[in-house]
A and B are shown apart, each in its own frame.
Chain A
Amino acid sequence: MSQVNRIDDALVDSLVDRTRTIKFAFNDQLYRAHPGDTLASALLANDIRVVGRSFKYHRPRGIFSSGAEEPNALVELHRGARREPNTRATVTEVFDGLHSRSQNHRGPLGFDLMAVNDYLSPFLSAGFYYKTFMWPKAFWEKVYEPVIRASAGLGSLSGLPDPDSYDKGFLHADILIVGAGPCGLAAALCAGESGARVILADEDFQPGGRLNAETLAIDDMRGSDWTKQTLALLAQMDNVRLMTRTTVYGAFDHGIYGALERMTDHLADSDQSPRQVLWRIYAKRSIVCAGATERSIAFGNNDRPGIMLAGAVRAYVNRWGVTPGKRVAIFTNNDDGWRTATDLASKGVEVSGVIDTRNIAAPAKVQGASIVMGSSVVNTIGRSGIHTIVLSNGQTLKADCLAVSGGWSPNVHLSCHQRGRPTWQDDQACFIPGGELPQGMHVAGAANGALSLSGAISSGIDTCKQALESLNIKASNAPAIQAEDESVQITAFWHVKQSDKRCWIDLQNDVTTKDIVVSHQDGFRAVEHLKRYTTLGMATDQGKTSNVLGLAIMAEHAGKTIPETGTTIFRPPYTPIPIGALAGRARGKAFKPTRLTPSHQWAEEQGAIFVETGNWLRAQWFPLEGETHWRESVDREVSQTRASVGICDVSTLGKIDIQGADAGEFLDRVYANTFSSLSVGKVRYGLMLREDGIVMDDGTTARMAEHHYVMTTTTANAVSVFRHLEFCRQCLWPGLDVQLISATEQWAQFAVAGPNSRKLLEQIVDAEYPIDNEAFPFMACGQISVCGGTPARLFRISFSGEMAYEIAVPTRYGNSMMATLMQAGEPYEVVPYGTEALGVMRVEKGHAAGNELTGQTTAANLGLGRMVSKKKDCIGNVLSEREGLNQKTDLQLVGFKPVNTAVQLSAGAHFVSKGQDAITRNDEGWMTSVAYSPSLQHSIALGFIQNGQNRLGETVVAADPLRQQSIDVEIVSPHFIDPEGERLRG
């Protein structure tokens, strides 16, 4: 049995390529299809009627629509890591080898164990969860939630990382046209001929919209032929970009639109191309030509497979050459439904009857069909597919497909994204865009209530001319387009009240008319409450076929008009957007950029172990062959640096170039201490406060020339300090003559530390720059050159406590500079050292770092209170004097060593006096930084303790209840190494 529902080629000129046959799988069964088919048209062609189970009652469900609005035919596509649940079969292009599965059933699709819910339906109405799972309270976590979780949801994810890639892109246009149906194509022609920059986006793979689904003529051509001709014209215009498979999913502020282009979803092999592109489109104007969506009528058992929207039934016949049934009946309240009857009859499909709720003369003759005016369908019979329908007059009709039309709802979605509120049109029985539209947006065609073909086309052209005029672009005089002005008369009809069976409104969420009544009874009468209480209009289809119907029935039940009842509005996205597309390339390692130090390549060659610090990847230590524990490497690096010389890449420190006549004055104001008095050629340690008096950052600043300073910041605060300085410069003291630029990336900087550091540097610093202690003493700085003319900056500063220099060269020389320094240091057995050794040496020296500069500590806490100059104002000066920050019991930074030096200390321990319990009330401070000191051969620590400076020599307890440790520690000076600073000045 193969494609039994394909209509004879001679009878229909469909848009699928019947000369080629492809194969696809549904629930592991292979079927045939043709290029141009959607999964839905292919399933219907193969007479697959049940494609899934409903959300709540697990009722068998079939294909309901032919587009993005589909509530029923949600399937899982692909296998393995590419498995994608909840995909609409109606918009999925079939390709050779496509795998698809039905979802939401336990056991086979034909016999779902969860279908028992259908028999429990009297209990499962709106508010069921709210009312039922209230008590006993203890049951919620252990019983109710796991059960609900297990039965909730539709498809399931693979749980594997997404193997596809996604891109993001930016586009600009004078006019963005959303939808390439008759209205959008006409508007695009008009705009394109005027010379405006146009983007025409259509969600379908075959532009044309309803023109592909109808038999109406334009310019004496079949609609689909006119579409082809128009697309060919547009393709010749350089100023028009046609984007197919592209859904404009959201209208955002200031004329920005989000669009998802599906690049490879229709291909068996993506060939490494990005699967989808998320476009951000900047459009001066937009014309939303998004068309309209048909809706159903609520009648008994109106959810059975074979019951479909009337427009979809004729779309399958006209576009895909597939008949959804052998014997089709039509149930309508409008003239459009009749076109399904006449189109089908003309293609040789048996139409058993047309039932129209209106008491008027039949609008058309239909060969062989029973015409029943002023009647309705009260029930349908046939569990996994209908075979009979029952009318309100008692008559029964044989039909295996029932095409229903309750009228068309304009796709107003995008017009609502900035809180525009649609208005009700009684004569057309639909909402059209209303209220304030997003900036620059026009709505045309069926989306604006122009539901006939000629109406849509002229609306598209007129609206385009308005948009062009507002942009001061002259519209060209294109010849008029002649199209049929077919009848679209409708008399609103929502609910067959004679039905004593369940009447569905929202197929996706299993919401019936009874749920609306319950919601009303329970007091949830406002439309927003109705939606949330009944789940009407939620999930993947967002109620595209059900919102208006549900609202109208609520209005009827409450005895109100629809305008009195109100309407819900829409948020982006119009259709679901994969999270992967929103993430784009920013995932895994690419989530944020990785910054590499200038000597990264060299460090890699040495087999360095790296650590992430912010975005930076820094060498943590450099293991030598035979070293099995990181401590071995780190201890060696520290010892060798202190014994001879070591080199560390410190380029990650923030560097800010500060120039101008007022540069010194500026620094006096942003630093707590004074810099205007610093001599040219000297460096000073600086402490920066926040306005609230707390320490913000520290670093050294060098005066390179009278009006030129170079500031360093901590690695972590490089960006925030620069922003802060720019704020101060621009907003607080705009009159100061000072300019700033970040130079962090421009200079590679290396610490050369240890007693042999000078000897090492003398080999590479050019001879005209003497660096002996007299010419270049501690805290000196200067412009020099190295290696025969390479420009460099030298600073005699030390973080390690050793005699040390920092040498900076333009970044491009960084990697070779590292190698050159190492080579020059060979006679001294120089070592490279990483961030661990850097940390050990700064703890040994008692320098504060990130662990101490927590954003909660003051200069006084750090023992740097005297640095806050009282001779001048600076940021934070006033508030640093707050009483609460200046108590006798304030925390002070001191050093700690274990009484039993064999013991390892642990950072985070809190201090209590000897003999006190380790409880919060007795807390006197905490240990901030801990290191094993290879110099002292035992564990050492820095920490804050109340009144610490006056307690040197006292023994306290470092209590660490988390690690169940209590260690006796002695309070000592934080300067474990060379407290007098003799090495620095050597």
Chain B
Amino acid sequence: MIIDHPLLGPRDAAEFVYLGDAALINRPEHTDEDAQGDRSWLVVTRNTLTHEISKVELARDVAIANGRDR
């Protein structure tokens, strides 16, 4: 492949190394709370007609309330 380098002009692909997906540029701010999620599964209670959400619980709490244990 030939890659047209914006500064150096057309160059053979062999002159490059691959770093990764360009999404790497979008590094989250360290102050962002849980920017990557917290992996929690949730139980969401939703009116399927209006999409009104009436309750959101940690699935873990629901499970414990249902008597699940070790």
Are both chains from one complex?
yes
Known: A873-B30, A877-B30, A878-B30. A256 touches B2 (CB 8 A): yes
Interface status of A778 (Cβ within 8 A of chain B): no
A253 at the B interface (CB under 8 A) = yes
Contacts of B2 in A (CB 8 A): 253-256, 282
Q: Which residue of B lies closest to A252 (CB)?
A: B1
A-chain residues with CB within 8 Å of residue B24 when the two chains form the complex: 727, 731
| A723 on the B face (CB < 8 A) | yes
Count of B residues near A, CB < 8 Å? 11
B25 near A254 with CB under 8 A, answer: no
B19 contacts the other chain (CB 8 A): yes
Please give 19 more A-B residue pairs, beta carbons under 8 A apart, in addition to A691-B27, A873-B29. Answer: A252-B1, A253-B1, A253-B2, A254-B1, A254-B2, A255-B2, A256-B1, A256-B2, A256-B12, A282-B12, A723-B17, A723-B19, A727-B24, A731-B24, A731-B25, A732-B25, A732-B27, A873-B30, A873-B31
Please list the 7 inter-chain residue pairs (A to B) with the smallest Cβ-Cβ separation, ordered nearest first: A873-B30, A254-B2, A253-B1, A731-B25, A878-B30, A732-B27, A254-B1
Q: Is the CB of A727 within 8 A of B19?
A: yes
B69 to chain A, nearest CB (A): 21
Classify chain A: how many residues form its interface, as a range: 10 to 19
In Å, the complex CA distance between A915 and B8 comes to 66
Residues facing B in A873-931 (CB within 8 A) are 873, 877-878
Distance A542 CA – B29 CA, assembled complex (angstroms)? 57
For A252, A253, A282, A878, which residue has the most chain B Cβ atoms within 10 angstroms?
A878
Interface set of B (CB-CB < 8 Å, partner A): 1-2, 12, 17, 19, 24-25, 27, 29-31
| Interface residues in chain A, defined as those with a beta carbon under 8 Å from any beta carbon in chain B | 252-256, 280, 282, 691, 723, 727, 731-732, 873, 877-878
User: CA A691 – CA B30 in complex, angstroms?
Assistant: 11
Rounded to whole Å, the gap between the CB of A583 and the closest CB of chain B is 15
C-alpha spacing A134/B25, complex, angstroms: 54
Assembly CA distance A254 to B25 (angstroms): 28
B32 nearest CB neighbor, chain A only? A878
Distance in angstroms between the alpha carbons of A254 and B1 in the assembled complex: 6
Looking at the assembled complex, report how far the CB atom of B27 sits from the nearest CB atom of chain A, in whole angstroms.
Answer: 5
| A-side contacts of B31, CB under 8 Å | 873
Residues in B with CB closer than 8 Å to A256 are 1-2, 12
Question: Which chain B residues lie closer than 8 Å to A732 at the CB level?
Answer: 25, 27
CA–CA, A255 and B31, complex, Å = 48
Q: Within the assembled complex, what's the spacing in Å between the Cα atoms of A881 and B17?
A: 31
Residue of chain A at shortest CB distance from B35: A878
Instruction: Name the B residues within 8 Å of A282 (CB-CB).
Output: 2, 12
Please give me the residue from chain B that is nearest to A730 by CB atom: B25
Give CA–CA (A280, B25) in the complex, Å.
Answer: 34
Provide the residues of chain B in CB contact with A878, threshold 8 Å.
Answer: 30
23 chain-A/chain-B pairs, Cβ below 8 angstroms: A252-B1, A253-B1, A253-B2, A254-B2, A255-B2, A256-B1, A256-B2, A256-B12, A280-B12, A282-B2, A282-B12, A691-B27, A723-B17, A723-B19, A727-B24, A731-B24, A732-B25, A732-B27, A873-B29, A873-B30, A873-B31, A877-B30, A878-B30
**Cα A254 to Cα B13 with chains together (Å):** 11
- Which of A254, A255, A732, A873: most chain B Cβ within 10 A? A254
Contacts of A727 in B (CB 8 A): 19, 24
Q: How far is the CA of A256 from the CA of B3 in the complex (A)?
A: 12
Q: What residue of chain B has the Cβ atom nearest to residue A255's Cβ? A: B2
Q: What is the minimal beta-carbon distance from A671 to any residue of chain B, in angstroms?
A: 15
| Bound-state Cα–Cα, A878 to B12, Å | 38
In the complex formed, the residue of A with least CB distance to B31 is A873
Name the distance in Å between A463's Cβ and chain B's nearest Cβ. 23
Q: How far is the CB of A874 from chain B (nearest CB, A)?
A: 8
Name the residue on B nearest A282 (C-beta): B2
A593 to chain B, nearest CB (A): 16
A104 to chain B, nearest CB (A): 39
A252 and B2 alpha carbons, distance in the complex (Å): 10
The complex places the Cα of A253 from the Cα of B27 at a distance, in Å, of 33
Closest partner residue, chain A, to B17 (CB atom): A723
Give the docked Cα–Cα distance between A280 and B17 (Å). Answer: 19
Write the nearest CB–CB distance from B36 to chain A, whole angstroms. 9
- Once bound together, how far apart are the Cα atoms of A349 and B46, in whole Å? 94
Q: Which residue of B lies closest to A875 (CB)?
A: B27
Could you tell me the distance in whole angstroms from the C-beta of A379 to the nearest C-beta in chain B? 54
Within the assembled complex, what's the spacing in Å between the Cα atoms of A731 and B31? 19
Q: How far is the CA of A256 from the CA of B25 in the complex (A)?
A: 31
Assembly CA distance A256 to B2 (angstroms) = 8
Residue of A nearest to B20 (CB): A727
Chain A residue contacts of B12, Cβ below 8 A: 256, 280, 282
- Scoring B17, B24, B30 by chain A CB atoms within 10 A of each residue's CB, the highest score goes to B30
Bound-complex Cα distance A731 to B2 (A): 23
A259 to chain B, nearest CB (A): 15
In whole angstroms, what is the CA distance A256 to B30 when docked? 45
Q: How close is A174's CB to chain B, nearest CB, in angstroms? A: 15
Instruction: State A253–B29 Cα separation when bound (angstroms).
Output: 39
The closest CB in chain B to the CB of A691 belongs to: B27
What separation, in Å, do the CA atoms of A878 and B29 have in the docked complex?
10
Residues of A within 8 A of B29 (CB): 873
Cα(A877)–Cα(B32), bound, Å: 13
Q: For residue A254, which residues in chain B have a CB less than 8 angstroms away from its CB?
A: 1-2
Tell me which residues across on chain B come within 8 A of A253, comparing CB atoms.
1-2
Q: Kindly state the separation between the CA atoms of A727 and B29 in the bound complex, as whole angstroms.
A: 16
B48 to nearest A CB, angstroms? 36
Bound together, the chains give a CA A539 to CA B27 distance in angstroms of 51
Nearest CB on A from B4, distance (A): 10
